[in-house]
């Protein structure tokens, strides 16, 4: 993805909003426990999740588990004490573009370390999967969230990964 795409992505994140129709989409797709989890995300992550959801819908996907996973796939990034601050997100995008392997080397599991947000980023699929289970999601939703960056041969996981990368 080009630099201009990333600039637009940053601007969308800083000016994110959700309209009434989108709130209705969330309510009709997620259970109350899942919706609570969705709304605990940062607004920019909610916006991104809705964009992924809408990309899947526009592509003809109507599998409820896939659509729920689209709305919840990044909850491990911004729910609870593991939030990744915006400056770190910018650095993560830049490092991924230049040297993706550096993200693993930068990460430290110590919450007191300045390097902890990189660890959270690397672990967000697994953490998100745990959070979806706590929100009483299906095993399929948990699986899709867990593998959304490494979908393998699973066609639903691949669709989620592609929609995520497109947004």
Question: What are the pLDDT digits (tens) for 43-59?
Answer: 889 999 999 999 999 99
Q: What is the pLDDT of residues 6-47, one digit of tens each?
A: 566 666 666 677 889 999 999 999 999 999 999 999 888 999
Phi, psi of 108 (to 5 degrees): -140, 135
Predicted TM-score (pTM) of this structure: 0.86
């Amino acid at each position: 993805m080009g630099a201009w795409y990333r600039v637009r992505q940053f601007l969308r994140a800083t000016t994110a909003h959700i309209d009434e129709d989108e709130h209705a989409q969330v309510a009709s797709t997620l259970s109350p426990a899942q919706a609570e989890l969705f709304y605990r995300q940062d607004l920019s992550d909610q916006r991104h999740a809705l964009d992924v959801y809408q990309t899947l819908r526009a592509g003809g996907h109507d599998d409820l588990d896939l659509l729920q996973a689209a709305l919840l796939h990044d909850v491990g990034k911004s729910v609870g004490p593991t939030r990744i601050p915006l400056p770190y997100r910018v650095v993560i995008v830049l490092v991924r573009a230049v040297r993706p392997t550096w993200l693993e080397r930068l990460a430290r599991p110590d919450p007191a370390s300045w390097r902890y947000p990189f660890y959270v980023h690397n672990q967000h699929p697994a953490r998100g999967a745990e959070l979806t289970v706590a929100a009483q999601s299906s095993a399929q939703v948990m699986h899709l969230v867990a593998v959304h960056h490494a979908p393998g041969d699973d066609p639903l996981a691949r669709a989620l990964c592609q929609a995520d990368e497109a947004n």
